[in-house]
């Protein structure tokens, strides 16, 4: 039996505080789709995805209605395509992206991730073909997301790949300039990319994963914010405790949905991603949580401390609520997708440098950051290199999803709409990084990676 206040609290979280399950992502292994003929491989990829995920959307919607839990996205993540396409005798992998796009549309999900390569230690021939196909692939498909792992704590940082990705991001922006470089919103580079991440654009199914698995990403910034509004002026101990308790409840929703989805789809449950993911809707912002904790505007001094505590408390509460935790699991701080972050940039309280500092203590990294279109390639690579270093040397995941918008300068704004939100173009430090990037090679793995 429940007390009335318990039932009303739960109802209120869904009704007024935007609590939802952000995504149910089905991971599908495509290694068995490799074929000498690219055409055959693409057919096998399409058939496998559409068969495996045939009922994903229906069942997710059914669970959503039965439990009264909004489930925002249904998505697919697949084996990194560079591993699947390598067997095929073709130099251009755009056909593989098109096969993924077609399959994604056929089953009614909204994104498919895995146009990916893992190049932290070096490139295979197939990796290079995939990287060079990215701009055209993202320009000519709608739902395909690409991700490249450039670095890991075990392997160090592949600086040749960092240099190359600077160029590819610029090309991608140029090819999709009609949509304000929307292609770049579907492209992310990682350090220590997780194998079971359900969130886009970085979702792919790593090689240690099972044939098929259900990974679920929860959300709930609005719920955390509402809980913190109940403890104004209280000590940080109370704030941390309040976040933990709330994160527990939020994650239990994800666990329930994941268990139900796995059972009804007859697919193993993978992990719950404990990330706090914002949306551009007012009341669903990470920045506003940090401001409730006590900084006047996100980006003010103290922001990093508040974010570190938030991120840690979310994990502590969420871990106990879930049988398996994975993916990115931390607070997301995308600029364009968070109403409070956008306001903070516009108020000049939040700079790219402060954002970088914040990525040291939370997941993801520099996410959905729009910069001037004429930013030099080497500067973009420099931004990536710094973010990779933060991930590699702190033994955590970091990423960069940066959008150099052609024709736009700092202070302008681009509007992507929906959950992508709108991005103010941020100021860039233009002192050069060219000589650093031109060195190439590999930054060795840090000493603390040797734990054996």
Partner 1 sequence: MSQSVKYNAVVTVLGKDRVGIIAGVTAVLAKLNINISDISQTILKDMFTMIMLVDTIKSTYTFENIREELKVLGQEMNLEIRIQHKDIFNAMQRI
Give the residue with the Cβ less far from partner 1, 66 or 178.
Answer: 66
Q: Is 34 in the site for partner 1 (CB under 8 A)?
A: no
Give the residue with the Cβ less far from partner 1, 207 or 320.
Answer: 320
Q: Is 62 in the site for partner 1 (CB under 8 A)?
A: yes
Q: Is 8 in the site for partner 1 (CB under 8 A)?
A: yes
Q: Contact with partner 1 (CB under 8 A): which of 2, 233, 417, 450? A: 2
Give the residue with the Cβ less far from partner 1, 138 or 227.
Answer: 227
Give the residue with the Cβ less far from partner 1, 100 or 262.
Answer: 262
Q: Contact with partner 1 (CB under 8 A): which of 256, 352, 357, 389? A: 256
Residues 331-370 that bind partner 1 (CB under 8 A): none
Give the residue with the Cβ less far from partner 1, 66 or 237.
Answer: 66
Give the residue with the Cβ less far from partner 1, 173 or 226.
Answer: 226
Q: Which stretch binds partner 1 (CB under 8 A): 11-19, 295-303, 366-374, 435-443?
A: 11-19
Q: 153 with 192: CB under 8 angstroms?
A: yes
Q: 155 with 444: CB under 8 angstroms?
A: no
Of 15, 17, 12, 8, the C-alpha closest to 282 is 17
Residues 159-188 that bind partner 1 (CB under 8 A): none
* Secondary structure in 3-state letters for the chain: CCCHHHHHHHHHHHHHCCCCEEEEEEEECCHHHCCCCHHHHHHHHHHHHHHHCCCHHHHHHHHHHHHCCCEEEEEEEECCHHHHHCCCCCCCCHHHHHHHHHHHHHHCCCEEEEEEEECCCCCCHHHHHHHHHHHHHHHHCCCEEEEEEEEECCCEEEHHHHHHHHHHHHHHHHHCHHHCCHHHHHEEEEECCCCCCCCCCCCCCCCCCCCEEEEEEECCHHHHHHHHCCCCCCCHHHHHHHHHHHHHHHHHHHHHHHHHHHHHHCCCEEEEECCECCCCCCCCCHHHHHHHHCCCCCCCCCHHHHHHHHHHHHHHHHHHHCCCEECCCCECCCCCCCHHHHHHHHCCCCCHHHHHHHCCCCCCEEEEEEEECCCCHHHHHHHHHHHHHHHHHCCCCEEEEEEEECCCCCCCEEECCHHHCEEEECCCCCCCCHHHHHHCCEECCCHHHCCC
Q: Is 7 in the site for partner 1 (CB under 8 A)?
A: yes
Q: Is 230 in the site for partner 1 (CB under 8 A)?
A: no
The CB-of-16 to partner 1 minimum distance in angstroms stands at 11
Q: 131 with 145: CB under 8 angstroms?
A: no
Give the residue with the Cβ less far from partner 1, 6 or 125.
Answer: 6
Both tokens of 158, joined, read 């592949």
Q: Is 6 in the site for partner 1 (CB under 8 A)?
A: yes
Give the residue with the Cβ less far from partner 1, 3 or 178.
Answer: 3
Q: Is 70 in the site for partner 1 (CB under 8 A)?
A: no
Q: Which stretch binds partner 1 (CB under 8 A): 3-11, 76-84, 128-136, 364-372?
A: 3-11
Q: Is 65 in the site for partner 1 (CB under 8 A)?
A: yes
Q: Which stretch binds partner 1 (CB under 8 A): 4-12, 100-108, 140-148, 361-369?
A: 4-12
Q: Which stretch binds partner 1 (CB under 8 A): 246-254, 270-278, 359-367, 442-450?
A: 246-254
Q: 333 with 303: CB under 8 angstroms?
A: no
Q: 314 with 276: CB under 8 angstroms?
A: yes
Q: Is 150 in the site for partner 1 (CB under 8 A)?
A: no
* Placement of tokens 């994990």 in the chain: 315
Q: Is 68 in the site for partner 1 (CB under 8 A)?
A: yes
Q: Is 255 in the site for partner 1 (CB under 8 A)?
A: yes
# binding residues, partner 1 (CB under 8 A): 22
Q: Is 66 in the site for partner 1 (CB under 8 A)?
A: yes
Q: Is 253 in the site for partner 1 (CB under 8 A)?
A: yes
Give the residue with the Cβ less far from partner 1, 138 or 226.
Answer: 226
Cis amide bond preceding 201, omega within 30: yes
Q: Contact with partner 1 (CB under 8 A): which of 249, 288, 315, 408? A: 249
Q: Which stretch binds partner 1 (CB under 8 A): 29-37, 245-253, 268-276, 299-307?
A: 245-253
Q: Is 55 in the site for partner 1 (CB under 8 A)?
A: no
Of 320, 364, 322, the C-alpha closest to 215 is 322
Give the residue with the Cβ less far from partner 1, 7 or 430.
Answer: 7
Give the residue with the Cβ less far from partner 1, 19 or 187.
Answer: 19
The CB-of-67 to partner 1 minimum distance in angstroms stands at 4
Give the residue with the Cβ less far from partner 1, 252 or 264.
Answer: 252
Q: Where does this chain bind partner 1 (CB under 8 A)?
A: 1-2, 4, 6-11, 13, 15, 62, 65-69, 249, 252-253, 255-256
């Amino acid at each position: 039996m429940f007390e009335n206040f318990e039932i009303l609290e739960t109802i209120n979280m869904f009704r007024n505080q935007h609590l939802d399950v952000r995504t149910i992502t089905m991971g599908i292994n495509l290694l068995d789709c490799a074929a000498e003929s690219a055409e055959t491989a693409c057919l096998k990829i399409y058939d496998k995805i559409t068969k495996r995920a045939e009922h994903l959307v229906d069942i997710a919607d059914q669970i959503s209605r039965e439990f009264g839990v909004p489930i925002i996205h249904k998505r697919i993540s697949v084996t990194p395509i560079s591993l699947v396409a390598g067997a095929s005798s073709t130099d251009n992998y755009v056909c593989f992206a098109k096969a993924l796009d077609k399959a994604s549309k056929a089953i009614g999900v909204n994104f498919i991730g895995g146009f990916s390569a893992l190049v932290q230690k070096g490139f295979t021939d197939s990796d290079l073909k995939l990287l060079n196909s990215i701009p055209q692939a993202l320009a000519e498909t709608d739902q395909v997301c690409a991700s490249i792992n450039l670095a890991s704590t075990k392997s160090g940082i592949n600086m040749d790949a960092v240099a190359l990705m600077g160029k590819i991001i610029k090309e991608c922006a140029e090819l999709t300039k009609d949509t304000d470089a929307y292609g770049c919103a579907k492209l992310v580079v990682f350090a220590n990319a997780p194998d079971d991440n359900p969130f886009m654009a970085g979702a792919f199914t790593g090689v240690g994963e099972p044939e098929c698995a259900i990974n679920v990403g929860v959300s709930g910034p609005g719920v955390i914010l509402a809980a913190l509004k109940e403890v104004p002026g209280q000590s940080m101990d109370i704030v941390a405790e309040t976040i933990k308790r709330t994160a527990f409840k939020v994650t239990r929703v994800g666990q329930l949905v994941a268990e139900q989805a796995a059972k009804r789809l007859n697919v193993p449950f993978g992990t719950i991603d404990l990330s706090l993911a914002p949306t551009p809707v007012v009341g669903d912002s990470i920045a506003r949580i940090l401001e409730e904790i006590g900084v006047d505007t996100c980006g003010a001094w103290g922001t990093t401390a508040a974010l570190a505590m938030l991120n840690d408390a979310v994990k502590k509460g969420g871990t106990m609520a879930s049988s398996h935790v994975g993916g990115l699991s931390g607070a997301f701080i995308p600029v364009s997708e968070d109403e409070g972050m956008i306001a903070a940039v516009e108020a000049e309280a939040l700079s790219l440098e402060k954002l970088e500092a914040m990525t040291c203590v939370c997941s993801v990294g520099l996410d959905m950051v729009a910069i001037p279109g004429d930013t030099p390639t080497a500067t973009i690579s420099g931004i990536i290199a710094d973010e990779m270093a933060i991930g590699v040397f702190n033994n955590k995941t970091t990423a960069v999803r940066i959008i150099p918008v052609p024709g736009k300068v700092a202070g302008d704004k681009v509007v992507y709409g929906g959950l992508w939100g709108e991005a103010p173009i941020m100021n860039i430090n233009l002192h050069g990084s060219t000589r650093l990037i031109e060195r190439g090679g590999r930054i060795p793995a840090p000493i603390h990676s040797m734990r054996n």
